Structure 1
Amino acid sequence: MPLIRIDVLQGRTEAEINSLLDAVHRAVVKAFEVPQTDRYQVLTEHNLRRLVAEDTGLGIVRTEKLTLVSVTTRPRSDESKRKFYSELTAELAANCGTGANDVIVSITTNSDSDWSFGNGVAQYLTGEL
């Protein structure tokens, strides 16, 4: 159950946002092999001056299509993380016109006891999941 937070600059249409959310979800399903219905996403739009992402000295040029993706998830292998980066940039390029130069990803890992899907219960610990 990855929790996906996406930060973008203001100005995208509802159709563009929906396309972006769908593209990110397809990448999560492919790379992390989660069920199709395992979808938890939060998208936040920012004013141009409220979202700063420089290139860390790598010479990467950013545009108005800047997309920051933060993933909170159970432990994943390095291989599945690399697959996610690749799938994500491919999906965003094909479906949103977002270049790989505009995609920044951060993955934070937590444990089973860190999740409750509702009802005040840690379903991974109770065996419900």
Structure 2
Amino acid sequence: MPLVRLDLPQSLADQARPIADAVHTALVSAIGIPADDRFQVIALHAPEHLIIDAQYLGIPRSGRALIVQIYLRKGRSVELKKALYAAIAANLTALGLRAEDVLVSLSENDLPDWSFGLGLAQYC
């Protein structure tokens, strides 16, 4: 049930789908999300509309830095979250991106916080 939002610099437009695929593959392999549970939003931004600090925490980021926001049900361990971050970074570096350029943020919620249509809370 995760909802993934990918905020990418316009320069990565041609890699948007492979990036989305790589993030989904990480969710499936690292934390056991079902392969058919895929909901993603991809937003492309001009350089002036995607502001990511180039040195925060001493990590040198390039103009190809991107943001991965994942909304998912709460309850996963710190170890699983770390495995997810590592899998996302590994999958994106396999596409030629830099691990330094991958910012991931998780937002946890609970079962009543989801509606998949029909105005219903299907998990309640």
TM-score by length of 2: 0.92
Stretches of structure 1 that go unaligned for 5 or more consecutive residues are none
1:45 equivalent to 2:38? Answer no
SS of the counterpart of 1:81?
helix
Stretches of structure 2 that go unaligned for 5 or more consecutive residues are none
What's 2:84 paired with? 84
What's 1:12 paired with? 12
What's 1:67 paired with? 66
Q: Distance in 2 between matches of 1:13 and 1:89?
A: 18
2:13–2:44 Cα contact (<8 Å) kept = no
Residue type at the aligned position of 2:114: W
After the TM superposition, which parts of structure 1 deviate over 3 Å for at least 4 consecutive aligned residues?
none
More deviation, 82-91/115-124: 115-124
What's 2:23 paired with? 24
What's 1:122 paired with? 121
TM-score by length of 1: 0.89
1:101 equivalent to 2:117? Answer no
1:2 equivalent to 2:2? Answer yes
Compute the RMSD of aligned alpha carbons. 1.1
How many residue pairs get matched? 122
Structure 1 residues 123 and 72: alpha-carbon distance in aligned structure 2, compared to 1, 3 A threshold: same
- CA deviations 1:29-74 (Å, max 9, x no partner) are 1122011000011011111011111132x22111132110011110
- TM-superposed CA distance for 1:12, in Å, is 2.6
